[in-house]
Amino acid sequence: MDLKLKLGILFGGAGEEHPVSIKSAQEVAKHLDPAKYEPVWIGITQAGAWRLCDGPTFDGGRPAVLSPDRRTPGLLVLDSHETISLDVVLPVLHGKTGEDGSIQGLLELSGLPYVGCDIQSSVVCMDKSLAYTVARSAGIATPIFWFEAELPEQLPYPVFVKPARSGSSFGVSKVSSPDELPAALATARQYDAKVLIEEGVVGNEIGCSILGNDGDLVVGELDHISLTHGFFRIHQEDSPEDGSENSTPVVPAQIPDDARKLVRETAMAIYRALGCRGLARVDLFLTADGTVVLNEVNTLPGLTSYSRYPRMMAAAGLSLGDVVDKAVALALEER
C-alpha cells in the first residue's frame, strides 16, 4: 500500500517575489523525503497562469487549476480533464497573492488542508499598519508610523517609506531629508497604493524563526543582521547566493542572554497575538536600552539556500526537511 502523502507544492506567483519563490521551491525539493511524499508541483507564472509541472521549474508545464469545489477537490488538469487528488498543500509563495490571504482563501474554498497561517492572520501580517495596531494592543512596541495623507509638518528624519503590503524590502526607501520624500513615495506606490512613513528605529535587526501552533512552539536560533551601510534587502542583490554587498546574517545572534530570552518571548507573543500558525519569521529591532520593537512578520518566509528562516532552524538542529515534515503534520492536524 502506498502511504505517501500527495503534497501539492505551489511556487512562482504573480507578485514581485516570483523568482525568490522558485528558488525556495527548488530548495524544498532537495530536502523532501521521497519515502513520505509524492510531490505535485504547481507553478504560477508571473502572468498568473497555473501549470502542472514536473518539478520546481516551468519547463513543459501543463495548464491546470485548483478546484474550489469541495465535491471535486484537487488539481484539475485542463488538457486531459483529469483530477489529481491532493492530501495537503504547501504554498511556497512569498509576498502578494502568497502571504496576503489570497491563496489561503482559495485553499479554504477547496477544503484542502494547507501549511501556514490562515486567511485572517495572513491579511493582518501582510499589512504592516494592521500588524502594528494588533501588536500595540498586545503591549508590544512598534515603530511610530504615518499614512501619506496625514504626515506631520516635521518628520523625525531619517524615516523609512514603505509599501504597506509588500515584502523583501521592495519599494522601501530610507529618507534623510524632505527633498528625498517625493521620490520615495513614488517608489513605494509602484508596489502598493497604501504607503507608510515610519520612524527610523535605531537598533540591531534580530530575526526569530517560529514553527508550531498555539502553545506548542519551536523557536530556532536567533540571528542578527550585521550591516556595513544602508538597510537589509538581500533578495534584491544580483547574486544573493554569493552574499550581500552590505549585510551579513549572523547565527546565533551575538546578543546577551537576557536580551536573547526577551526577544524570543516577544517574538512568540507577536506570533500568538497575530494568530500565526504553522510557521513564520518574526523580525524585530533590539535597541540599546534593551527594548524589543516589532519590524515585520513573514508568514511564508524565504526557504532558499541563503534565506534566514532555514538557517536559524538548522542552527537549532532542524533541517529544512524536518521543518517541512512538522509544518505538514501541523496542517493535517488542523483538518
What cell does 243 get? 552574499
DSSP structure string for 258-311 = HHHHHHHHHHHHHHHHTT--EEEEEEEEE-TTS-EEEEEEESS---STT-HHHH
Nearest to 66, CA basis, from 24, 101, 112: 112
Residue in 13, 16, 23, 309 annotated catalytic: 23
Looking at residue 241, its pLDDT comes to 62
Is position 306 annotated as part of the catalytic site? yes
Dihedral-angle region of residue 258 (phi above 0 means left; psi in -120 to 50 means alpha; beta otherwise)? alpha
Looking at residue 1, its pLDDT comes to 46
Which residue is it, cell 504615518? 146
Is position 194 annotated as part of the catalytic site? no
Looking at residue 143, its pLDDT comes to 96
CATH number attached to the domain at 124-142+203-333: 3.30.470.20
CATH topology assigned to domain 145-199? Dna Ligase; domain 1 (3.30.1490)
Is position 23 annotated as part of the catalytic site? yes
Is position 229 annotated as part of the catalytic site? no
- Averaged pLDDT for residues 154-174: 90
The residue among 262 and 235 whose pLDDT is bigger is 262
Dihedral sign of CA atoms 220, 290, 121, 234 in order: negative
- Averaged pLDDT for residues 203-216: 93
Residue in 61, 74, 212, 302 annotated catalytic: 302
Residue in 306, 323, 326, 328 annotated catalytic: 306
The fraction of the chain above a pLDDT of 70, given in percent, is 93
For residues 299 and 263, what is the distance between their CA atoms, to the nearest angstrom? 18
Looking at residue 2, its pLDDT comes to 62
- Averaged pLDDT for residues 108-126: 97
8-state DSSP, 79:
T
Which value, in Å, is the radius of gyration of the alpha carbons in the chain?
20
The fraction of the chain above a pLDDT of 90, given in percent, is 85
Q: Sorting pLDDT into bands at 50, 70 and 90, what band is 60?
A: confident
What is the distance of C-alpha 321 from the center of its chain? Answer: 18
For residue 296, is pLDDT > 50? yes
Which residue is it, cell 512568540? 268
Is position 326 annotated as part of the catalytic site? no
CATH class of 5-114: alpha beta
For residue 184, is pLDDT > 50? yes
Q: Sorting pLDDT into bands at 50, 70 and 90, what band is 227?
A: confident
Is position 17 annotated as part of the catalytic site? no
| CA separation, residue 67 to residues 89, 99, 111 (Å) | 13, 20, 9
Is position 224 annotated as part of the catalytic site? no
Q: What does the angle CA 15 – CA 17 – CA 18 come to, to the nearest 5 degrees?
A: 75
| CA separation, residue 229 to residues 242, 244, 246, 272 (Å) | 18, 11, 6, 33
Q: List the domain boundaries for the chain.
A: 5-114, 124-142+203-333, 145-199
